[in-house]
C-alpha cells in the first residue's frame, strides 16, 4: 500500500525547493498532501503544489471542507510521516510552545506520525538562542531535524541557514517511512564502485562499475536501522546521506580501508569491483608516445576478501560475482576460496543486469550450496532482498 506524506510549507524563499520534494516523493509512488501557511502562498502559488501532488492544497482553516472529514484531523491521521520544509523560525517556535493557530500548526499538533523539520532562515535567526532552544527541546521529545546547510543565503549573508537539499530531505523521509528496523545496532561495512590503478599522472585503468548496487545496499541497510559505513571508489553518483562515507581510489586504498574496519563490523558486503591488477611501475611523469608499441606490465593486487577470510569471527561476509559466463560454477568457486557466507552472482553480459543499469537479475548462493534465482528487479529491491536473507 502506498505511503502518505503530509508536507507543511511555511513562508520563506526556499518554498520553491519544496516543489522538488513533492516531485521526488511522487516519483517514488508516495502520496503527498500539502498544507501551506498563508505567508508561504506569497512565495509559491498553491496551484503549483496542487499540480505536482495531484491533491488539493490546504491553506485556510475556515474555508469549506473539500470532504466531509475535519480536514486537520484527517490529514494528521493520514500521515505516515509529517514533514515541514521549509520551516521558519516562527513555525518552529509555535510548535515548540504549543501554539496552533493555523492549518499547519493545528495539524502537526494533532498527528501521531514522526515529524521531520527542515529549517531555513537567515543565519543570525538560526543561531538565535531562542530558536536553538526550541530546536533542542523538539529534538529531545523525538522530533527529527534535517540541518540547514551553509552557503550564500537569499538575504546576501553567507552562513548556515540554507534549506537542506531536497534529495537529502527525501532520504530522511524514506528512512522514517521504513518501519522494519531489523538491522538496528548492526555495523555494516559496504564497498562499492570501481577502483583506479594509475599508469601515470594522467592515465589509469578502471572498470565499468558505477557504484549503484553498493549505494542501494547502503541506503537500504540505513533505512533498516544499521550503522552503515560505505567505502567507495570514484563514482559519478551522489552518495547516500546519513551514513559514514570513506572515499578511496585504488584497490590498495580499499584494502586498507576494509582491513581497518573489519574486526568491528558485523557484516561486510563487498559489492565493489576491485581491480585485480595494477601497473607494476607507476610513472611519476606523463608517458610520452613513441613510434613503438607500448607494453604495460601488470602486477596482482591483494584480493581483499581472500586476505581477511581468516580474521572472520562473528562477521557475515557477502561477496559479489560479476560474470559473463558459467555464472553458477564461478560463483560457487569464489564462495569456497574466499570463505563467504553467501555470494550474489549476476550475469553482466545481459543488458538489464550489472554495470550502470538500474536493475539486476541475480542468483544468491549460500555456503551450503543452496541457490536462489530471482527475477529482474530494481537495484533497490535487490538490496532489500539481500538484506532479507541476511536478517533470516
Ligand atoms: N574482490 C576482492 N578483492 C579483489 C577482487 C575482488 O575482495 N582484489 C571481491 C569483489 O568485491 C567481489 C568478489 O571478490 O565481492 C568477487 O569478485 P570478482 O571480480 O567477480 O572475482 P575475482 O575473485 O576477482 O575473480 P575473477 O576476476 O577471475 O572473476
pLDDT tens per residue across span 162-200:
999 999 999 999 999 999 999 999 999 999 999 999 999
| Closest atom of ligand 1 relative to the 301 alpha carbon | 8
Among 242, 239, 118, residue whose Cα is nearest residue 178: 242
pLDDT of residue 136: 98
Q: How far apart are CA 83 and CA 7, in angstroms?
A: 5
Tell me, using a 6 A CB cutoff, whether residue 192 lines ligand 1: no
Burial class (CB in 10 A: 0-12, 13-18, 19+), 162: buried
Mutation pick for ligand 1 pocket among 192, 303, 306, 336 (CB with most ligand atoms within 8 Å):
303
Average of pLDDT values for 151-157? 79
pLDDT of residue 213: 95
Q: How far apart are CA 120 and CA 190, in angstroms?
A: 33
Q: Is 0.85 surpassed by the pTM of this model?
A: yes
Cell numbers that stand for 287 in this block? 608517458
Same CATH fold assignment for domains 4-177 and 187-282+297-391: yes
Residue nearest to ligand 1 atom 12, measured at CA: 320
Tell me, using a 6 A CB cutoff, whether residue 252 lines ligand 1: no
- Gap from CA of 148 to ligand 1 centroid (Å): 40
- Gap from CA of 323 to ligand 1 centroid (Å): 10
Tell me, using a 6 A CB cutoff, whether residue 19 lines ligand 1: no
Q: How far apart are CA 19 and CA 4, in angstroms?
A: 16
Residue nearest to ligand 1 atom 27, measured at CA: 276
Kindly report the average pLDDT of the chain as a whole number.
93
| Closest atom of ligand 1 relative to the 337 alpha carbon | 23
Tell me, using a 6 A CB cutoff, whether residue 304 lines ligand 1: yes
- Gap from CA of 354 to ligand 1 centroid (Å): 14
Q: Where are the domains of the chain?
A: 4-177, 187-282+297-391
Tell me, using a 6 A CB cutoff, whether residue 321 lines ligand 1: yes
From the CA atom positions of the chain, what is the Rg in Å? 25
pLDDT in tens, 320-347: 998 877 878 888 889 999 999 999 998 7
Query: Contact 315/262 with Cβ under 8 angstroms?
Result: yes
Only one residue has cell 536493475, namely 359
- Gap from CA of 369 to ligand 1 centroid (Å): 19
Tell me, using a 6 A CB cutoff, whether residue 335 lines ligand 1: no
Contacts of 197 by beta carbon, 8 Å cutoff, 6+ apart: 204, 205, 206, 250, 251, 275, 277, 278, 279, 301
pLDDT of residue 70: 57
pLDDT in tens, 41-73: 999 999 999 999 999 999 976 666 555 555 667
Cell numbers that stand for 328 in this block? 553458477
Q: How far apart are CA 80 and CA 78, in angstroms?
A: 7
Backbone φ, ψ for residue 268 (5° rounding): -120, 125
| Closest atom of ligand 1 relative to the 321 alpha carbon | 20
pLDDT of residue 156: 78
Residues serving a catalytic function are 155
Say whether pLDDT at 351 is over 80: no
pLDDT in tens, 224-233: 999 999 999 9
- Gap from CA of 274 to ligand 1 centroid (Å): 6
Q: How far apart are CA 254 and CA 233, in angstroms?
A: 8
Say whether pLDDT at 18 is over 90: yes
Tell me, using a 6 A CB cutoff, whether residue 217 lines ligand 1: no
Tell me, using a 6 A CB cutoff, whether residue 319 lines ligand 1: yes
- Gap from CA of 338 to ligand 1 centroid (Å): 9
Tell me, using a 6 A CB cutoff, whether residue 134 lines ligand 1: no
pLDDT of residue 65: 57
Among 73, 160, 133, 67, residue whose Cα is nearest residue 108: 73
Residue nearest to ligand 1 atom 23, measured at CA: 334
| Closest atom of ligand 1 relative to the 307 alpha carbon | 7
Tell the CATH topology of 4-177. Rossmann fold (3.40.50)
pLDDT in tens, 114-140: 999 999 999 999 999 999 999 999 999
CATH 2.60.40.10 assigned to 187-282+297-391? no
Tell me, using a 6 A CB cutoff, whether residue 344 lines ligand 1: no
Query: Contact 9/37 with Cβ under 8 angstroms?
Result: yes
Residue nearest to ligand 1 atom 17, measured at CA: 321
Amino acid at each position: 500500500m502506498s505511503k502518505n506524506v503530509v508536507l507543511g510549507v511555511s513562508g520563506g524563499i526556499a518554498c520553491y525547493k519544496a516543489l522538488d520534494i513533492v516531485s521526488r516523493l511522487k516519483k517514488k509512488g508516495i502520496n503527498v498532501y500539502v498544507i501551506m501557511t498563508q505567508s508561504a502562498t506569497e512565495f509559491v502559488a498553491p496551484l503549483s503544489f496542487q499540480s505536482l501532488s495531484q491533491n488539493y492544497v490546504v491553506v485556510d482553516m475556515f474555508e469549506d471542507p473539500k470532504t466531509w472529514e475535519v480536514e486537520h484531523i484527517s490529514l494528521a491521521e493520514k500521515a505516515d510521516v509529517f514533514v515541514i520544509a521549509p520551516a521558519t523560525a516562527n513555525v518552529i517556535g509555535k510548535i515548540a510552545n504549543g501554539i496552533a493557530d493555523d492549518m499547519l500548526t493545528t495539524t502537526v499538533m494533532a498527528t501521531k506520525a514522526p515529524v521531520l523539520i527542515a529549517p531555513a532562515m537567515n543565519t543570525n535567526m538560526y543561531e538565535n538562542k531562542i530558536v536553538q532552544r526550541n530546536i533542542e527541546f523538539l529534538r529531545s521529545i523525538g522530533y527529527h531535524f534535517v540541518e540547514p546547510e551553509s552557503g550564500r543565503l537569499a538575504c546576501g549573508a553567507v552562513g548556515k541557514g540554507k534549506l537542506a537539499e531536497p534529495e537529502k530531505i527525501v532520504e530522511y523521509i524514506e528512512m522514517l517511512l521504513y518501519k522494519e528496523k531489523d538491522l538496528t545496532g548492526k555495523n555494516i561495512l559496504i564497498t562499492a564502485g570501481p577502483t583506479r590503478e594509475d599508469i601515470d599522472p594522467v592515465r589509469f585503468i578502471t572498470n565499468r562499475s558505477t557504484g549503484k548496487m553498493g549505494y542501494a545496499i547502503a541506503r537500504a541497510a540505513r533505512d533498516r536501522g544499521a550503522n552503515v559505513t560505505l567505502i567507495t571508489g570514484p563514482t559519478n553518483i551522489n552518495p547516500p546521506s546519513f551514513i559514514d562515507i570513506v572515499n578511496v581510489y585504488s584497490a590498495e586504498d580499499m584494502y586498507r580501508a576494509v582491513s581497518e574496519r573489519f574486526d568491528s563490523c558485523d557484516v561486510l558486503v563487498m559489492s565493489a569491483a576491485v581491480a585485480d591488477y595494477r601497473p607494476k611501475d607507476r610513472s611519476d611523469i606523463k608517458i610520452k608516445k613513441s613510434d613503438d608499441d607500448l607494453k604495460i606490465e601488470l602486477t596482482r593486487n591483494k584480493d581483499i576478501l581472500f586476505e581477511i577470510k581468516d580474521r572472520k569471527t562473528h562477521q557475515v561476509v557477502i561477496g559479489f560475482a560479476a560474470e559473463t559466463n558459467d555464472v553458477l560454477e564461478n560463483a560457487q568457486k569464489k564462495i569456497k576460496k574466499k570463505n563467504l557466507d553467501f555470494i550474489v552472482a549476476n550475469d553482466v553480459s545481459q543488458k538489464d543486469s550489472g554495470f550502470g543499469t538500474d536493475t539486476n537479475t541475480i542468483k544468491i548462493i549460500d555456503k551450503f550450496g543452496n541457490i536462489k534465482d530471482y527475477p529482474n528487479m530494481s537495484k533497490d529491491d535487490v538490496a532489500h532482498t539481500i538484506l532479507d536473507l541476511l536478517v533470516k
